[in-house]
């Protein structure tokens, strides 16, 4: 099986806070891979390193065999044109219509005639079921519609890799299921490589081929959905079953509550 993205012994810190601590994984070409983990475990930071926004302290990300952080600016921009990104916060231009949001990248990065750009935008919107919403502004969209427009924009340039950062966040069950099915359908119909970065387990298990589970900056479990469901790995078991008690801590603290109270009393 061919490899689209290879991540090798990746380390990254924000000051003294260790965000990524030696992650190594391989994203297979043409498949839907999920990177799961609780909030703050390093998922979005990992995406920024894959896209070249951040440089690792140690290790490397290879895109089609080339080390991302060693690329020149022109090489980096060329690589990014092969990637489609669905941002965690949406990121649609508020003063542009749905149509203009999808057309933006095509106008910026190609010299296609306007008629062809129009046809391509219609095709992308048809794929996500929103061709009839082409003249609406982002403020006029529901949460589910907004996500689908963002998905259409992510594939506007026909990328070889599509990255979805928390695509299911804040969606009602119907919209969530629709977006999940769209990710799977678009991957299978276009043959692209898809990376879903999320903490949503239920929908992820239905649509992905492979799962990587991250906790506190480390890769703690991996496998296909069925093997993860049946896994005896304590991290996988806790995350798949949404259990409060387990190796993933709920409290982010270095001291006990009693120690903090005692220290506060001494200082006053």
Three-state DSSP class for residue 56: coil
Segment of 31-40, 58-67, 160-169, 243-252 carrying the highest mean pLDDT: 58-67
Q: Are 152 and 134 in contact (CB under 8 A)?
A: no
State residue 139's pLDDT score. 94
pLDDT at 267 over 70: no
What does the pLDDT average to over 30-48?
A: 88
Closest CA relative to residue 239, chosen from 41, 19, 11, 96: 41
Closest CA relative to residue 232, chosen from 108, 175, 241, 202: 241
Distances (CA, A) of 109 to 55, 82, 112, 184: 25, 11, 9, 26
Domain boundaries, the chain: 3-82+160-225, 94-158
Q: Estimate the crossing angle of helix 98-109 against helix 114-127, to 10 degrees.
A: 130
CB atoms within 10 A of CB 168: 20
- Beta partners for residue 210, in sequence order: 33
Is the CA virtual torsion 22, 86, 179, 184 positive or negative?
negative
User: Exposure pattern of 116-140 as b/e (b: 16+ CB <10 Å)?
Assistant: ebeebbeebbebbebbebbeebbee
Q: Estimate the crossing angle of helix 173-190 against helix 143-154, to 10 degrees.
A: 10
CB atoms within 10 A of CB 28: 15
CB atoms within 10 A of CB 186: 22
State residue 169's pLDDT score. 77
CA distance linking residue 226 with residue 206, whole number of Å: 10
Structurally, at CATH architecture level, domain 3-82+160-225 sits in 3-Layer(aba) Sandwich (3.40)
The two beta strands, 3-14 and 58-63, are: antiparallel
What does the pLDDT average to over 24-49?
A: 89
Q: In this predicted model, what pLDDT tens digit does every residue of 166-187 receive, in sequence order?
A: 888 777 888 888 888 888 988 9
Q: In this predicted model, what pLDDT tens digit does every residue of 106-142 receive, in sequence order?
A: 999 889 999 999 999 999 999 888 999 999 999 999 8
């Amino acid at each position: 099986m061919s490899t689209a993205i290879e991540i090798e012994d990746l380390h990254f810190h924000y000051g003294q806070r260790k965000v990524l601590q030696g992650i190594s994984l391989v994203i297979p070409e043409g498949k839907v891979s999920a990177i799961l983990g609780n909030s703050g475990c390093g998922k979005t930071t990992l995406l920024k390193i894959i896209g070249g926004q951040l440089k690792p302290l140690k290790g490397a990300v290879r895109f089609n065999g080339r080390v991302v952080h060693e690329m020149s600016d022109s090489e980096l921009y060329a690589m990014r044109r092969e990637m489609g990104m669905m941002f965690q916060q949406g990121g649609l231009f508020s003063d542009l219509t749905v149509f203009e949001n999808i057309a933006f990248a095509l106008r910026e990065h190609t010299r296609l005639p306007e008629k062809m750009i129009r046809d391509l935008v219609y095709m992308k919107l048809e794929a996500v079921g929103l061709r009839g919403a082409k003249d609406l502004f982002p403020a006029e969209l529901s949460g589910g519609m907004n996500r689908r427009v963002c998905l259409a924009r992510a594939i506007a340039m026909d990328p070889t890799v599509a990255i979805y950062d928390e695509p299911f966040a804040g969606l009602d069950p119907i919209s969530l299921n629709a977006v999940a099915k769209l990710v799977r359908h678009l991957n299978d119909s276009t043959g692209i490589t898809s990376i879903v970065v999320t903490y949503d387990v239920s929908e992820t298990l239905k649509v992905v081929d492979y799962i990587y589970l991250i906790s506190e900056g480390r890769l703690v479990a991996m496998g296909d959905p069925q093997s993860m469901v049946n896994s005896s790995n304590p991290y996988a078991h806790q995350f798949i079953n949404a259990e409060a008690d387990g190796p993933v801590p709920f409290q982010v603290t270095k001291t006990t509550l009693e120690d903090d109270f005692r220290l506060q009393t001494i200082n006053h």
